[in-house]
A and B are shown apart, each in its own frame.
Chain A
Amino acid sequence: MSASAKEKDPFIASLGKIYAGYTGGFAVFVVILAILEQMGVPDRIIGYLFVFLTIGVYAYIGIISRTAVVAEYYVAGRRVPALYNGMATGSDWMSAASFIGMAGSLYALGYGGLAFILGWTGGYMLVAILLAPYLRKFGQYTVPDFLGARFGGNLARSLGVIVLLTASFVYVVAQIVGVGIITQRFLDVSFTMAVFLGLAGILVCSMLGGMRAVTWTQVAQYIILIIAYLIPAILMSVKVTGVPVPQLMYGIALERIEVFEAAFRAAGQTPPPGVTGFYTAPFVGANGQFSLSAMVNFFALVFCLMVGTAALPHILMRYFTTPSVREARQSVAWSLFFIFLLYFTAPAYAAFGKLEIYQTLIGSQIASLPDWVKNWQIVSPYGTPWINIVDVNRDGILQWGEFRIHPDVVVLATPEIAGLPYVIAGLVAAGGLAAALSTADGLLLALANALSHDVYYKMIDRNAPTARRLVISRVLLIFVAIIAAYTAGNMGADILFLVAWAFSIAAAGLFAALVMGVWYKRTTNIGACAGMAVGYIATFGYLIHTEFYGWHFIQLFGSKEAILAAARQVANLPMDAEIKAAAAAMVANAATVKDGALSFIGNIFGGLPTDTVALRGRLVARLWSINNISGGIIGVPLSFLTIWIVSMFTPAPSKAMQDFIEDIRIPKGGVRLADRAEAVD
């Protein structure tokens, strides 16, 4: 770094004061709203104030951070201190899925949901030891930049861009759905309308100031989201146990949940669909017995989420913004610390929420349920109400299996469930919004940068003046945002399911090439390109094939028993008439069904057959019983293997390239770029 960065930058020096003042201001704001609520201001107004005022603050930061300098726009001038970059990464990282979805998944899946907690934290170890310091040393603007410089130009760069676009787009759609859910509930508008309102909030943050604006907004958003997550959890802990440390006290809640579940089972009740009846038991099937398939799926998901973490471009590019390699490493540790604060609270949130529902709702009269249940009985984009009370046995009393809450609203509704004041519900909504907006900002920026910097500038017009590059970047940002919002508004999908896809795609497409590029000098251009292509095609193809063409997949890979079982499932699913007819014919002539052509692959593992499940209104196939959200488990090893084998059989990289790798590995000094014409700007 040159001398200018060494001197105390007055802005950087006063960051502590700025954000302390901001946090204090937010606290005062919450207190004022609490007082207003006591004075009888309607809930609706409180909700409006929370949503609009916080978005207003983000917009203000976005506008004052506007910039026309390329290094500021792409990497925030490389002067973000480790601690603040950690906070920014925290909110960049923690999306609607973490804030809204995760405690909900834990609520539904119990121990199985902990795969998300483990997977979304452990990946930072991989980031810190394998990638972040070396990418920072390389010192360019985007992840495809590194691939282009290390693997000989435009082919590697384009492959990187394709993986980045797919993973980030899938991810950003999930964020916009999250924004839509919150806005819909708290502003009382239609889902599509809510999506486009949220979009405006996202764009004002990122459009004018690029990475610089996004960084300082994300720090502000982290502060709000962590306060909004911790306060309700603390209040619930006090309510249930009398001690304000939810992370230590929810053991009591876990024990009581087990007692409730045992009592429900003893009374012959069953849990609602999609919810485990054995909350703390690891690796169990529906009947509470050990299930190998559940265990394999748990570890496969943990693996994909961890590796995906270390391959998502919007996260990796955050470490391009620190002043030094040393700070990049520290910054990863800070990032994980700030993420940890939320993640080790999430299981407490879920446990207290669940206990509250078991204690106060189950067994009560359906006619006299509290008001908040009615508030959440609005129809979700998935076609059913968020909270669905189905009196199966028509006795007017709510049983275990009759209270069906969508996982995505568990966090948003818990303050009301626990009878906390409405201002807490508004605070949680503001936090959820901050989480979704900050991640969407980071993702949109990664998408727009890939298109404007890597595609337009590096591949189409190398002589484009700065002003035009930045204008194009901004136009593309709006363009991508609108397409993402349109997709979100028209597609009903669970947030977590979409997000997990993004992780598998990024993991299989990018991780092997990035890691081998730094750690294995012998990696050749062709090897890396082949590895990226194989990983990406295998994983993305597998996801699409199993999710949307499950019927076809099982015909190919399934044994005759699996095909027959699938044919029986088809009868209860809204599917193509042609498939239904074929399936019905199969069930009628069960003796004539044959094994699939590739069933020898599908049945390699005895205890893990290839089968199908009815999910999301579709027939979803599972190779070796592995759910397709862990599709990366197939693509990641394939990608590593391809790179290694092809590199063995292609000429070793040039001397200049080997020097380039040497320089990336050592913090000191600049980077000798192998091909100056291609990579130096």
Chain B
Amino acid sequence: MPLVESGNEPASATEAAVDPATARAYWIKTSGLMWTVLAMWFVAGFGIHLFAVQLNPIHIFGFPLAYYFAAQGSLIIFVVGLFWFARRQNQIDEEHGVQED
């Protein structure tokens, strides 16, 4: 039942695109990267700010340090971390030959 008129829909695969061993190795690497970035997320999102009371008396360019981290520092870590993640995951894809055609 063709419901989509444009021809550029991905066709459903009938068999696996890669062999099970590659798939497993790929997934282990991908999971590893996921946990790394998740740890980064946790530290930047929560870890640093647990010490806000201790950090705040330190002032840099007028910014209390904890205020700076919550307002800007953690955000920079998030943005840079995501670009790094996208690059690293592409490398993993290519190492295992599972990138899109």
Contacts and interface: CB of A to CB of B under 8 A. Distances in A.
Contacts of A71: 4-6, 8-9
Interface in A75-122: 77-79, 111, 114, 117-118, 121-122
A70 B2 CA distance: 11
B5 A662 contact: no
Contacts of B61: 248, 251-252
Contacts of A561: none
B52 to A, nearest CB: 4
A666 B3 contact: no
B9 A666 contact: no
A497 interface: no
Contacts of A337: 79, 83
Given A251-B63, A255-B59, 6 more contacts: A69-B5, A118-B70, A122-B74, A252-B61, A662-B16, A667-B99
Nearest to A74: B4
Contacts of B31: 519
Contacts of B53: 282-283, 290
Interface of B: 1, 3-18, 23, 26-27, 30-31, 33-34, 37-38, 40-41, 44-46, 49, 52-53, 56, 59-64, 66-68, 70-72, 74-76, 78-79, 81-83, 85-86, 89-90, 93, 97-101
Contacts of B81: 125
Nearest to A4: B8
B16 A659 contact: yes
Interface stretch (A373-381, A425-433, A475-483, A669-677): A669-677
A306 interface: yes
B23 A662 contact: yes
B98 A344 contact: no
A329 B30 CA distance: 13
A246 B45 CA distance: 23
Contacts of B56: 280-282
Contact of A665 (B27, B37, B79): B27
A71 B56 CA distance: 51
Given A326-B90, A665-B27, A671 B71 contact: no
A38 interface: no
30 contacts: A1-B100, A2-B8, A69-B6, A71-B8, A117-B70, A121-B75, A122-B44, A122-B45, A122-B74, A122-B78, A125-B41, A125-B78, A126-B41, A129-B33, A129-B34, A129-B41, A247-B72, A254-B64, A280-B56, A282-B49, A282-B52, A302-B45, A302-B46, A324-B100, A330-B86, A333-B85, A340-B78, A343-B75, A667-B93, A668-B100
A305 B67 CA distance: 19
Given A71-B6, A663-B13, A681-B3, A280 B70 contact: no
Contact of A139 (B10, B38, B67, B101): B10
Contact of B5 (A139, A333, A466, A676): A466
Contacts of B12: 670-673, 676, 680
A101 B41 CA distance: 25
Contacts, number: 201
A128 interface: yes
B82 A666 contact: no
Contacts of B66: 111, 282
A114 B71 contact: yes
Contacts of A117: 70-71, 75
A332 interface: yes
B64 A669 contact: no
Q: What are the 3 closest A-B residue pairs judged by CB atoms, nearest first?
A: A669-B17, A251-B62, A670-B13
A519 B18 CA distance: 19
A72 interface: yes
B40 A125 contact: yes
Question: Interface of chain A, helix or strand or loop or mixed?
Answer: helix
A667 B6 contact: no
Question: Interface of chain B, helix or strand or loop or mixed?
Answer: helix
A325 B18 CA distance: 16
Contacts of A668: 17-18, 97-101
Contacts of B11: 670
B41 to A, nearest CB: 4
A111 B62 contact: no
A122 B82 CA distance: 10
Nearest to B93: A667
Contacts of A262: none
Nearest to B13: A670
Nearest to B82: A333
Nearest to B61: A251
Contact of A326 (B16, B71, B72, B100): B100
A667 B27 contact: no
Given A114-B67, A125-B82, A325 B100 contact: yes
B19 to A, nearest CB: 11
A506 B63 CA distance: 35
B18 A666 contact: yes
B70 A681 contact: no
A344 B71 contact: yes
Contacts of B33: 129
Given A680-B12, A681-B1, A125 B27 contact: no
A521 to B, nearest CB: 10
Contacts of B14: 672
Contacts of A325: 100
Contact of B17 (A247, A280, A666): A666
Contacts of B100: 1, 324-326, 667-668
B41 A671 contact: no
A659 B64 CA distance: 52
A347 interface: yes
Contacts of A333: 79, 82-83, 85-86
Contacts of A329: 85-86, 89-90
A79 B37 CA distance: 28
A299 interface: yes
A34 interface: no
Contacts of A199: none
A663 B90 contact: no
Nearest to A256: B62
Contacts of A124: 78, 82
A672 B13 contact: yes
Contacts of A519: 31
A347 to B, nearest CB: 4
B16 A663 contact: yes
B62 A255 contact: yes
A2 B79 contact: no
Interface in A1-22: 1-2, 4-5
A646 interface: no
B98 A347 contact: no
A336 interface: yes
A303 to B, nearest CB: 8
Nearest to B89: A329
A347 B9 CA distance: 44
A133 B93 CA distance: 12
